[in-house]
Every structure is written in structure tokens, then in C-alpha cells.
């Protein structure tokens, strides 16, 4: 988080006044976060790996075959890390990246080889530039949880997929699956709610996406003839406790709400929470942060 001034938007102002934010206010809020902190999502996601050494991007990319000229959409592509992995895995892929934030798309354009992907600015609920049935796979890394309304997103995904196509999304897993994750979550939200009491009463996005069973039901309603599965995994990062705390906090949208002074206090408390019981051989203070993830798979 480069700019530590507290983020304020129509969404946070609605919460402050006790009003229910509407989807337009949510998109404006997310847009403001990514405008001011473009690329922040991958800082934590690229540092966290599972027992096999894979990042969440790697796990999602495995859905796409490593050979062939498949047509693949990265929905809410952000700064382009998933597109980069897909391009490196199989040069023959025809890649499209869609995101609502021009600052994120600018980072994606700068990192990708020329011609590696077609990048488009659009909302996930309206991807009119992509023809019906034109894609073999649609991937979405940790953004489906933020989309509201989400049903039009699923309708658009179904529209652009060709017969036999696949949709896969990486979303939040059950908090209890990763040791210590709930404590970090609650610590961050405790600080945020001290400054903005209404935060957390309204979810960023549709809350059904955050539950394994409710997510399956939601997707089966949109894809009634498809096979739908949800797998749970854990990714984690280790390193100097203060650095791990910074990266972990930066993955939570809530942390952008905090004033600078409270943010410093929060990071110190997270570092203490994540610190290993014993220092390493060189005397350094190490920390570990684990995160639960779900991989949704829809096969038509």
C-alpha cells in the first residue's frame, strides 16, 4: 500500500450514514482502490504458495490445457499476472483480458509481450465486445467475490463460452481451513470497524460467493446442465514478520479504509500474531500467513 491516506468513497459514505450502498457505489469504490493501488492484489497472491509450490494463479491456470490454440478470457485480469502465466505456459493460446480499471490494464499491457493478449476495459456484467460462444475457457482470479450483481456476470460467462467450454474462478475459501486466517481477518476488521462502524455489515459483492455450498447453488442455477465442483486449498507465505504483515494486510480491501496511525497499530498487531514461536538461527523474527482458497470449476 503505497499511499496510506484513508480511502473514502460513496460506498464508505453510505455506510457512515447508515444507508445501504448500491452496486454502482460498490463499483466506484473498487475502482478507487485499484486506481490508487494498482497491482496490489498480486503482491500477496504471488507470495503465497500451496504445498506443491503453486500460487493461486498457477492453480487456476491449470484449468487450461498446456497445448492448443484455446481461446481464453481472464475476467477482471487486473495487472495481468494470470495472463502472463498462461502466455508462458502455452504460446498458442489466444488470450483476452477484461478489467474495469484502466490503471490495472496499463500495468498488464506493460508486463505482457506485445500481442500476447487483447485487453479490454469493461464491466463483467456487460462484455458486449466479446461475441457469443467465442471462448473455450473463462478464468476469474479472486474477483467474483466482489461483483454485484453477480448473476448477470454468470449469464455473460455462459453467453461467451462455446459448447463444451469451461469456467473456473478462484474465490475465498472457508476461513477455518487455514490456521490463523480468521484471527487476522478479525483483527483487521476490528480496527476498521473502530473507525467505520458499519464496515462488514454489508459485503463487498454477493455473500453467496463466499460460501462453498451457496456458491455451488448459485452457479448451478446459471449453468443448469453443467458439472460444478468446488475444491478447497491453502496457500501461505513466510518471511520477516513485518513484511508478511504488510503483504497480508494489503490483500484486504478493508485495510485501505484506515487512518495512517491506526494502520501502523494494526500492522504491528498482525506481525505479532503471525510471528513464529522461536526466532530463526540468525535471530530474525519470522512470520507465516496462511490463506484459504476455493477453486470453482464449471464444465459444460
Q: What is the pLDDT of residue 282?
A: 66
The pLDDT, as a whole number, for residue 78 is 95
| Domain locations in the chain as residue ranges | 10-299
∠ CA 134-140-152, nearest 5°, is: 70
For 10-299, CATH gives 3.40.50.150
Percentage, residues of the chain above pLDDT 70: 96
Q: Where would I find the H helices in the chain? A: 10-16, 23-36, 40-45, 56-61, 81-89, 102-111, 151-160, 181-195, 212-222, 241-249, 260-274
Name the residue among 149, 141, 143, 145 with its Cα closest to residue 168: 141
**Residues 16-72: tens digit of each pLDDT:** 887 877 888 888 888 888 888 888 888 889 999 999 999 999 999 999 987 778 999
Short-list 96, 23, 85, CA closest to 56:
85
> Could you tell me the sign of the dihedral formed by the alpha carbons of 93, 94, 97, 102, in that order?
positive
For residue 233, give the C-alpha cell: 486449498
d(CA 160, CA 165): 9
pLDDT value, residue 187: 97
Here the cell at position 102 is: 484502466
Tell me the average pLDDT across 7-14. Answer: 83
Is it the case that residue 92 has pLDDT exceeding 70? yes
Q: What is the predicted pLDDT for the residue at 279?
A: 61
- Of 89-93, 205-209, 248-252, the least confident: 89-93
Grid cell digits, residue 253: 480491501
Contact of 235 with 297, CB cutoff 8 Å? no
pLDDT number for residue 37: 85
Q: What is the mean pLDDT of the chain?
A: 91
- Position with higher pLDDT, 76 vs 279: 76
Amino acid at each position: 500500500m503505497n499511499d496510506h491516506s484513508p480511502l473514502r468513497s460513496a460506498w464508505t459514505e453510505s455506510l457512515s450514514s447508515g444507508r445501504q450502498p448500491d452496486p454502482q457505489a460498490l463499483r466506484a469504490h473498487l475502482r478507487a482502490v485499484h486506481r490508487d493501488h494498482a497491482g496490489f492484489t498480486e503482491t500477496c497472491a504471488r507470495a503465497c504458495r500451496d504445498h506443491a509450490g503453486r500460487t493461486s494463479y498457477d492453480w487456476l491456470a491449470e484449468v487450461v490445457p498446456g497445448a492448443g490454440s484455446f481461446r481464453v478470457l481472464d475476467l477482471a485480469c487486473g495487472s495481468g499476472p494470470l495472463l502472463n502465466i498462461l502466455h508462458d505456459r502455452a504460446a498458442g493460446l489466444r488470450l483476452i483480458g477484461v478489467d474495469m480499471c484502466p490503471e490495472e490494464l496499463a500495468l498488464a499491457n506493460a508486463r505482457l509481450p506485445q500481442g500476447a493478449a487483447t485487453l479490454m476495459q469493461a464491466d463483467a456484467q456487460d462484455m458486449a465486445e466479446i461475441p457469443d460462444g467465442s471462448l473455450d475457457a473463462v478464468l476469474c482470479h479472486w474477483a467474483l467475490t466482489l461483483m454485484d450483481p453477480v448473476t448477470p456476470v454468470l449469464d455473460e460467462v455462459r453467453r461467451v463460452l462455446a459448447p463444451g467450454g469451461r469456467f473456473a474462478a478462484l474465490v475465498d475459501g472457508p476461513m477455518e481451513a487455514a490456521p490463523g486466517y480468521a484471527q487476522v481477518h478479525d483483527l483487521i476488521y476490528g480496527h476498521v470497524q473502530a473507525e467505520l462502524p458499519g464496515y462488514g455489515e454489508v459485503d463487498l459483492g454477493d455473500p453467496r460467493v463466499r460460501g462453498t455450498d451457496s456458491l455451488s447453488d448459485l452457479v448451478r442455477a446459471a449453468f443448469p446442465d453443467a458439472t460444478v465442483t468446488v475444491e478447497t486449498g491453502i496457500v501461505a507465505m513466510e518471511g520477516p514478520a513485518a513484511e508478511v504483515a504488510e503483504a497480508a494486510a494489503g490483500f484486504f480491501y478493508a485495510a485501505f479504509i484506515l487512518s495512517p496511525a491506526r494502520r501502523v497499530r494494526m500492522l504491528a498487531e498482525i506481525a505479532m500474531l503471525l510471528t513464529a514461536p522461536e526466532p530463526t538461527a540468525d535471530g530474525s523474527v519470522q512470520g507465516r500467513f496462511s490463506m484459504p482458497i476455493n477453486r470453482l470449476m464449471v464444465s459444460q
